[in-house]
Every structure is written in structure tokens, then in C-alpha cells.
Structure 1
Amino acid sequence: MSATLAEVITALERAYPPALAESWDAVGLVCGDPAEPVRSVLICVDPVESTVDEALELGADLVLAHHPLLLRGVNGVPASDPKGRLVHRLIRAGAALYCAHTNADSADPGVSDALAEAIGLIDTVPLEPRPDAPNLGLGRVGELPEAEPFAAFVDRVAKALPATAWGVRAAGDAERMIRRVAVCGGAGDSMLGAATKSGADAYVTADLRHHPAGEHLEKGAHLPALVDVSHWASEWPWCEQAARVIRETFGGNVAVRVSARRTDPWTLAASS
């Protein structure tokens, strides 16, 4: 017996409460009838042409995405618009779209827990805990089972995440020993200060900008070394975490697939 879309949403919102979303965010059901059955789900980071193609090829009844499709207000979703076209394709196929974004970032476990788990961190706590709930919040900081040189740690991160043209960039002394690590899935240079206060030896995140990174490094070699990965790769481990939520709630009644399609926008890299 399949679940209804409303039942799947209830399970997702227990794991990733919408109340945890930032005020500017747009989370929840984008399209779909809560009364309709859900037999299969595709989970992805980005609701884009490629992942919608995959969902329709699989006959999925629901696309669960991390990033919102309609983050900013719109007055319509015409099929002549790229995002509107995706909505029309999903509706015509009888497929729903649900997005869990910053609510999944702050949940316990959430996006940064999945990144920390992929890297192998233990004893993690929020990097920026919520005042009303210290177990919730953005980022995570934890420990490696054993200290290792920064160069080996960078290699560990590269092996833990899916390959991208962006790759893994790092700034720090290759021989520095790394034990305490802060992570933040997605764009995290706004949390450089929190990573520093946490006493981390290294900070792993995405989309580090030139000036914040440079200014951070100029403050001294005792501050966290930096590891910069692609935004998509840093959040992709969350897809399997979300898949577990559905599998544990509905067992074999709902088939779940994690999309392996690389939706990182960068496709080529070259070195001089």
C-alpha cells in the first residue's frame, strides 16, 4: 500500500520542521495534490531540468529537493519561463515537488550532519546553535577519530564527496595536524567567525569568496585552515539522509531513489 503525499509531507516535516526555515526562505509543497498516492520518490539537491527529466523517466510521484524552485515571489508560472516549464511538466506527469531548504539546514540531523558524517566526524554539535534549542542550528563542529595532516584531510574530503569540475580547494599548511573540524553545507563564509570561535583546526564549506577567505587567513596561522568544495557536492550527502527518513517511515511501500546526476553548474576546469 502506497502512502499519500500528505503522509509523506508529514514525515518530512517531522524531520525538517518548516518553523526552522529562515524568514526569507520558501520551503514546502510547490505543486501536487496531498490526497494523491506516492509510490516512488526522487531526492535531489536542485529541482532543475535534469532532475525533472530523471523523475519523469522513473515515473516518480514526488521530487524532494533541497533547493527551492521559486525562492523569490512570482506572479505566475507560464510554461514559457524555465521554472514555470518545470512546474507544468511535473503537473502534467502527476508528480509533486516538495522543497526542504534552510529547515533541513538547521534540523537535527540536517544537511551539515550529513556532510560531517560523510567526512567521518564524530561527537558533532551545531556550529551556530539556535538560542531556543541548542541541539538545532546551522553548521556542525566535531572531531576526527585521529588527527591527520591537513593534506591528508583535504584528500579525505575529496574522496567523501562526489567529483565536480570545481573539485576541492584548500588553504593552509599541508603538515598542520587536523583533529577538530567545522563544516557547513552550502555557502558558509558568513560562518567563518563561528568556525574560528569553535576552536576548529579546519573549516569545510562551499562558495568561499576571495576577500572573506583572504582576510580570515591574514589573521594568523592558528585560525582554521580552509577547505572549499562545490555547493552542490557539500549538500548532496543530505539526499541519502532524507531518503532514510522516508524508508524508515514507510518501509518498502514507497520506493526512494537518490539522484546521482551532477547539477553543479560548473562543468569544465583548466589549469595554466
Structure 2
Amino acid sequence: MSNENKTIYDFELNLIYDFFSTMQRQGPGSPEVTLKALGFIDNLTGESRIADLGCGTGGQTMVLAEHAPGHITGLDIFPGFIEILNRKARQASLQDKVKGIVGSMDALPFREEELDLIWSEGAIYNIGFERGLREWRKYLKPGGYIAVSESSWFTDERPAEINDFWVDAYPEMDTLPNQVAKIYKAGYLPVATFILPENCWTEHYFVPKHAAQEVFLAKYAGNKAAEEFSAYQAAEEKLYDKYKEFYGYVFFIAKKTEPFPGKAE
């Protein structure tokens, strides 16, 4: 069995959903990091409208709901994830403040300049970093914020093994200075940038993923596609452990400006 030339997009959506549905988060992150990023947002009130795009099962959405004023809409393409988020909201008696809806990042159901804050942890890659920045901008009010975490290179050069893995998995991955330049070019003023600490990968992502993997493999025993998907996830963890000094997730917080500070395409 070889996953040498596979990316996550090569696997069936139902396998991706089943694997990650039991996890609090579907990517690296932590409640502490969500709150740190939220601390750079200064324009929120009880009337604010917030959208968490690619919210998954709502790990970070619920942190926002508990600490940010305003109303939060969590959006994800997987109906099962949205059911889980809405159940969490009801259990926390926050159903009047946070609501999950099924939708796609490339066809957002919001009006232009409706949102005060767009949030997306580890999910903007689904549409592409530059494309997401450009297309989502119109939904923000003047002075509105965007806060996204995105995989980024820490160095200009890196070993071929990890470089080739990410070129196949996500060719748009770029270095931090280039990411900040893209934010500026897309019509935002960069406000803050920080690297997610290692425990966002280990304690909050890989450890829960081990438990999810056991449940997943038991459910799909003998299913070659499921075994390949599980092996792909394990390979990603090994590569991170080996090459974590070369890449990781970075939080970018930026503010919509008028007119553009740079030339947006």
C-alpha cells in the first residue's frame, strides 16, 4: 500500500467525514490559540456578525461563542459536522448565539459587507489562501477583520522529502513573508501574525487523532481505501515530527481597509 502520490483530496468525502467526526478539532489548534487570535480583534459588539468558515465540528466555534460578543454562523460542507456543532450549541445553551449551516466556502450565503469578522482555522486551504482572502473580503464591513490559520514554511529552503510532500498536498503553501504580502495585496492591513505552538499539533490534534483512528479502522476493517486514508494521516504525523522546524500553522489576523493598501487582483 502506497500513499506516495495521494493527497487528502484523493479520498472519498465520507471517509474524511467519518475519520474526523469524533474529533474536537479537525486540524492543529487549541482554545488558548483561538483566544490569543481573538485578542487582536477590537471592533466586536453584541450586534456583530461573525462567520467561522470551515468550522468542522465547532471546536473553535464554541470558544468564540463563549468569549466573543455578537452572533456566530459556523459554515461547513459536511452536514454531519454541522449537526454536531448545533448539538454542542444547544448543550451549552448558546443556540441563540451560534448556529451551524451547511454551505461552501466558494459560495457564501452572506450579503456584501454583512460581517464584522471572518474566522477560519486550518480551513482556508480548501479554497486557497489567496483566493479566500480576495473573495471573502467583500463580505466584510469596512474595518472588519479576517483571522485565519494556514500552513506555512518557516524557511526558504527545506529537505526534499517534506517539500515534495507539501507540494503534492498543497502547492500554494508559502513562506511567512510571502503570506503577509498576499494579505496586504488582497486589501487588508496585517495586524498580527504568530506561529501555533507545537502542542497545537501534538496534544490537541495528533493525540485525539490516534483515538479517532482506532474507531475508524474498526468500522472499516478490510476496506483498502480506509486503510490508505489512515496511513496517510499517520504519515503526516511522522513528517511533522521529523521536519517541524521547517513548517507549521500560522495565525494571520488582518483588517479590511478602504481603499486597498496594495493592488488586489
TM over 0.5: no
Higher relative contact order (CA 8 A, sep 6+): 2
Give the TM-score normalised by structure 1: 0.29
* Structure 1 or 2: more strand by fraction: 1
Q: Which protein shows a greater Rg?
A: 1
* Structure 1 or 2: more helix by fraction: 2
Give the TM-score normalised by structure 2: 0.30
